[in-house]
Amino acid sequence: MTRNLLNKQSAYGTALFINICLAVNTTYSQGIWVNYTQADGLASNDVREIFEDHSGNIWFGTLDGASVFDGSNWQTQRPGSFVEAITQVSSGDIWLSVDNEGIYVFDGTNWTNYTMANGLSGMDVLDIVEDQQGNIWASNWGRGVDRYDGTQWQNFNRATYGLGGDIVNAVLADRNNNLWFGCQSDPWFGEPGGVTRYDGTNWANYTTADGLIDDNVISLYEDHSGNIWVGTFGGVSKFDGTNWTNYNTANGLANNSVFAITQDTKGQMWFATYGGGVSVFDGTNWKSFTTADGLISNSVDDMIEDSQGNFWFATPDGVSKYTRPDISTDEERVSLSGFEVYPNPFTQHIIITFNRSSVRLMEFKIVDLTGRELYSLAFDDQTDGKQLLELDLTALHLPKGNYIMTLTTDEKVITQKIIKD
């Protein structure tokens, strides 16, 4: 999504291919790495984007279409070639952008194409985000951002509105429904770059003059506490609403080019860098993963933590899946914890049963696929034997889709995917 464009590919017709996974599994002391390439079913080794849909399928935006992995089989969707951004909106439709072909929307059966002919300001869309009102925001290279309200597109650019620049690499809708735009500096055209926040009425720009580490912004992320993290070519910045805190290689970051950011269920921050592998920061200490540990390439374009607690990394050489040593497989969860969650899928209530003698349960949490905490319950009952908890989640007004339930014990963090029906 953020790398320089390579060879332009011509459009293909929609096609579907299925391959059985033949990936190599490597175990290191830090966890288990599994690497996937075209030999396993990827449409191309050059992967720019990763996304998990509501059904738990992992989508990969490649230089030759979108690959979809259900954990066993691969499918390739080719509405176009070079896929730069993928998301799923509240309706369940998949939105993806293709270089120089605009945006394609997949309803599960058919593809719809949005181009300049029906409202887009340009054809090179780098990021796509849905806000809380259901509007779709698409950053368009050199043209600012476009907003789709379900009927028509509207363009927001530097000349007419308050963007820090018309090259917008990243878009974020935060929990307070502010829109954040990561802009690229362009001194030749007087564009300062940096980060722009839009609250629906007012525009505010933040640059190095305000404390941002670099004005060329590549990635954006909101952590569990509501802090905004900004990845740039000069390091990463954290904004708490008032103050900026900056980190770069001098602090422990593996490389200053930060292409993706996420936070895991333990609260650690993960940074995908282009050239240095992946860095993990627990608030005090840094550690990094590289090809020496099992990562397929040290140049990482994108990453996610899936609903099972696995990490996926997109690179120019394929995809790596990483399972941390503190995350158990489904089979291990059953034998170690003795707990059950039902019904799953659920509507408003979830029942959890577990054996107090097998796991000392401390806390339940429910987070969305971005890691944002939605529900928390401390459990301090020390009674031994079979336990039953019923959680009423009606007040959360959760939309349909996948969520992660995290159970923190005195031994480990256990994750379970739950599905809102």
The answer for residues whose C-beta is within 8 angstroms of residue 396's C-beta and 6 or more apart is 366, 374, 375
Residue 104 pLDDT greater than 90, yes or no = yes
Quick check: pTM over 0.85?
no
Per-residue pLDDT of 396-412, as tens digits, reads 888 888 888 877 665 55
Q: Is the pLDDT of residue 352 over 90?
A: no
User: Is 362 strand, coil or helix?
Assistant: strand
CATH classification at residue 379:
2.60.40.1930
Task: Mark whether 225 and 128 lie in a shared domain.
Answer: yes
CA 369-396-345 angle, 5° bins: 60
Q: How far is CA 242 from CA 216, 227, 337, in A?
A: 21, 10, 42
In this prediction, residues 317-346 reach a mean pLDDT of: 66
- Tell whether 294 and 411 lie within a shared domain: no
Task: Give a yes or no: residue 312 inside a domain.
Answer: yes
> Is the domain of 97 the same as that of 181?
yes
> pLDDT tens digits, residue range 203-260?
999 999 999 999 999 999 999 899 999 999 999 999 999 999 999 999 999 999 999 9
User: Of the residues 291, 323, 355, which one is the last residue of a structural domain?
Assistant: 323
| Average pLDDT value for residue range 372-387 | 70
In contact, 133 and 178? CB cutoff 8 Å: no
Boundary (domain end) residue, out of 302, 323, 344? 323
Could you give the count of Cα atoms lying within 13 Å of 330 in the half-sphere of its Cβ? 7
Given a cut of 50, whether residue 123 has pLDDT beyond it is yes
Least confident of 4-18, 177-191, 397-411: 4-18
244 & 384 share domain? no
Q: Is the pLDDT of residue 297 over 70?
A: yes
Asked which of 66-75, 340-349, 357-366 is least confident by mean pLDDT, the reply is: 357-366
Query: Which is more confidently placed, 198 or 352?
Result: 198
**The two structure tokens encoding residue 413:** 């963090």
State the total domains in the chain: 2
Of 262, 264, 282, nearest to 272 (Cα)? 262
Residue 275, pLDDT score = 96
Q: Which pLDDT band, with edges at 50, 70 and 90, does 382 fall under?
A: low
Average pLDDT of span 368-393: 72
Looking at the chain, the whole-number percentage of residues with pLDDT higher than 70 is 83
In a domain, 61, yes or no: yes
Ramachandran region, residue 409 (left: φ > 0; alpha: ψ -120 to 50; beta: rest): beta
Same domain, 149 and 97: yes
Is 231 part of any domain?
yes
State the burial class of residue 57 (Cβ atoms within 10 Å of its Cβ: 0-12, 13-18, 19+): middle
Which CATH number does the domain housing residue 38 bear? 2.130.10.10
Non-local CB neighbours of 20 within 8 Å, separated by 6+ positions: 41, 72, 73
Asked if residue 2 belongs to a domain, the reply is no
CA distance 82 to 80: 7
Domain that holds residue 166: 18-323
Binned at pLDDT 50, 70 and 90, residue 337 comes out as very low
Tell whether 5 is covered by a domain.
no
Is the per-residue pLDDT at 335 higher than 50? no
Contact 152, 118 (CB under 8 A): no
What pLDDT is stored for residue 350 in this prediction? 86
* The pair of three-digit structure tokens given for residue 327, joined into one six-digit string: 């995350």
Asked if pLDDT for residue 416 goes beyond 70, the answer is yes
307 in the same domain as 382: no
Tell me the Cα Rg of the chain. 21
Six token digits for residue 417 = 């995917």
pLDDT at 24 over 50: no
Beta bridge partner(s), residue 250: none
Shortest CA distance to 60 belongs to which of 70, 7, 348, 103? 70
pLDDT of residue 100: 93
Considering the chain, what is the average pLDDT of its residues? 85
Contacts of 299 (CB under 8 A, 6+ apart): 274, 275, 315, 316, 317
Query: 40-83: per-residue pLDDT in tens?
Result: 999 999 999 999 998 889 999 999 999 999 988 999 998 878 99
Q: Answer with the one of 323, 351, 369 that is the final residue of a domain.
A: 323
Q: Is the pLDDT of residue 84 over 90?
A: yes
Q: DSSP assignment of 356-388, as one string?
A: TTT--EEEEEEE-TT--EEEEEE------SEEE
pLDDT recorded at residue 343: 85
